[in-house]
């Protein structure tokens, strides 16, 4: 009887160990599935990161291209404003009765028109929030670009083009 009880006890313990082993095997299988899913999510996250880094690099390149184009447009606008300011100032000086011999007065009047136009341009840029926070506007110079280097000059116009523009402006008044 004792042998049968001992055998029964060992049989129960063996069944319990098999049951525990099956549960442990199931947990190991679940952990392997979780590990596979985690590795797959990690790979997807890495792929997404690489794609986003490429997109960021592309956007940075586009932004840099936009900045370069904006510098060129601003330089052209400033050059055009200078030439229009000088021509308007010269015309205004002649209209106010300045004689041909007083070219210095015309140049001074042209410079005043240029400064007024430049100040209006600066105020417009300021209204459109074109300056960075904390930008010191007191040191702006109409003859320098954003990098504080001289603005590249355009090819000078021929004398006949300048005369034609002068007479066109004069005939309109």
Residue 97: which region, alpha, beta or left (left: phi > 0; alpha: psi -120 to 50)?
left
How much is the pTM?
0.36
Q: Provide the pLDDT for residue 83.
A: 73
Q: How far apart are CA 156 and CA 71, in angstroms?
A: 21
Q: Which domain holds residue 28?
A: 2-172
User: In total, how many domains does the chain have?
Assistant: 1
CA 115 to chain centre: 29
- Please tell me what DSSP assigns to residue 150: B
Residue 144, helix vs strand vs coil: strand
Q: How far apart are CA 13 and CA 169, in angstroms?
A: 111
Give the angle 71-74-80 at the CA atoms, nearest 5°: 140
Q: Provide the pLDDT for residue 164.
A: 52
Q: Provide the pLDDT for residue 4.
A: 82
- Nearest partner of 138 among 161, 122, 151, 159, judged by Cα: 122
Contact present, 113 and 88 (Cβ < 8 Å)? yes
Contact present, 30 and 38 (Cβ < 8 Å)? no
The tens-digit pLDDT sequence of the chain (173 residues) is 677 877 888 888 888 989 999 999 999 999 999 999 999 999 999 999 999 999 999 999 999 998 888 888 888 887 877 777 666 655 555 555 445 556 666 667 777 777 788 778 877 777 777 777 777 666 666 666 666 666 665 555 555 555 555 555 555 54
For residue 154 the two structure tokens come to 């355009």
Contact present, 116 and 89 (Cβ < 8 Å)? no
Q: Provide the pLDDT for residue 165.
A: 54
Terminal-to-terminal C-alpha distance of the chain: 133
Q: How far apart are CA 144 and CA 151, in angstroms?
A: 6
């Amino acid at each position: 009887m004792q042998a049968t009880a001992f055998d029964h006890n060992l049989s129960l313990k063996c069944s319990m160990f098999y049951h525990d082993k099956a549960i442990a095997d199931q947990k190991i299988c679940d952990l392997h599935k979780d590990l596979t899913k985690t590795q797959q999510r990690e790979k997807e996250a890495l792929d997404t990161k690489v794609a986003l880094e490429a997109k960021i690099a592309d956007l940075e390149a586009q932004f840099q291209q936009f900045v370069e184009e904006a510098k060129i447009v601003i330089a052209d606008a400033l050059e055009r404003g200078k030439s229009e300011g000088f021509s308007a100032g010269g015309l205004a000086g002649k209209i106010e009765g300045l004689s041909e011999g007083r070219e210095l007065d015309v140049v001074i009047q042209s410079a005043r028109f240029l400064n007024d136009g430049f100040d209006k341009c600066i105020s417009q840029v300021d209204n459109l929030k074109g300056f960075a926070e904390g930008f010191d506007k007191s040191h702006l110079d109409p003859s320098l670009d954003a990098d504080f280097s001289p603005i590249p000059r355009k090819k000078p116009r021929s004398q006949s083009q300048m005369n034609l523009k002068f007479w066109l402006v004069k005939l309109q008044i």
